[in-house]
Structure 1
């Protein structure tokens, strides 16, 4: 695990996400620019590469928040954007495209933190400053902004134990569906969860779901076949997207057991309201996006960004870089109203639409 010299805790994060922000472009092969051509902007161009679009946060929150903050800090900056669609080779090609376009700073959320190393080196060789966003890329990056990911794993594990209650015994079978091993955050979530769960319950089945609901469903089906549906007392899912696949399998087998997730996705929160999921982890996107945009603009303008990146992180390839690590909050039915609704991540109307209206009323949300 990466050693962090100081953990930055964010207490009650009062995040007001502006829903007046520009609509997201479609993810995939096509790149887009948030403003006029680079040449008309005097070369003040920042590249933004996000890893995939299966997780709703990237297109719905990260992209528009980063773009809006960059424009507020640098009105004559342009943002060149592309999404890798979960394809590391495509992301490597996108880095080369950004180099060709002449971006001065590149924000990269790596689909594969190791595979991106040579591409980052190529960008740096061309004088481009690189900021690792959300996932710590290998290679000569200038800064890194993310969450305290091992702590998030601990919060997930504790949420599962809390939900299991007296059923959490050293012999109680728990299934773990981890994230993609190409994502360094997945290893941190896994380590944090094991730190809390090991010895308290029995990890009877553990596999990677690759951040895909379909893969998670396959793995959960295999776990049920191997262990027997009556012998599983809880399920750890590393994120809400995979928890959706797990939940479908649990429902299909007539199973009601605690299920954790992460990312506070709308579908995950709605499952929590109906009892199909127990908990998620709310990671406020605005502080992460805003800090990254601020560092990128500082790098573009040759300014010191150490007042933002106040700690350090060490990548798997041994580079120690300035970093900012943000805290997170567990969310259950009891505190949805005081967390994601209060902070404006979703509106009550979005959360409580259609079939979820009655569950919202029962939870005191509307």
Structure 2
């Protein structure tokens, strides 16, 4: 590390406390770098840039009424992207609703954005890349992730599950039930808790008396670790180790791990949220120095893997990739009858009457008459 790098690392306020870390705020190496090829390092950065560009476009699309309520990822790109790169392609990912980087790292099908537009067919696109549909019920997907891991164990399949969730999920019963099952039955599970400091408007310290979220794993008999969630290399290393432990375990016993990724949500909880009602803009200032994108970019430059031309090419590629997904997603044709499907096993007479009434109106006036003008 150069004197200038050391000075930058020392002067940046560290809001995270005791965490595992590989990169300083300036991209200087301060820990053990995982054994990754140059191409994989560049791909992780490329996926992070794509995630941020997708975030910018998605917020804009929501404001234009072209997609529904959206959960922003700015500041948290490293944790979902790097965690997914540390898995095998057939290890299912269960996520809450903010970990867009996991989908991007798995290929970023256009159906994903179509899902946010209200097309249920988007679920099939996620299934094709072993990502379970996004979950709105807080922590409700965790028992399913543990159940899938138990099934892999019973069938002697060499697969694990990785479940993402926010710090607020640790206050839900499903979190405790899922981790208890995981500990009792030694399931091949990796739990990634994104501690972005806020459960919507509730700060972390107001929802648990535990000094850390990682230590909650001790109650269930397995390990919990804290990692700098804005450091992609630290996240990769932690998830890689946890995946190895889940896959192989010790003494013929598989072992789950709870990873607390300490990070900050720069934007609103969702596009329906106004964070100025519960936090000051200055609250995020200490975290800006740890932004994952410039940190990873600085690391790549220091390693001689990127220069101005390559960085610009990656940004252009990310922009084109996101634009192509938007163009394709907006070609999806919705069927108004879908809103009545799968509500009941046998459709009640009143619901059937409403369905027929709507379809008759669509037939008379056309679909365009029922779309909001942009």
Global fold match (TM > 0.5): no
Higher relative contact order (CA 8 A, sep 6+): 2
TM-score (norm 1): 0.31
Larger radius of gyration: 2
More helix by share: 2
More strand by share: 1
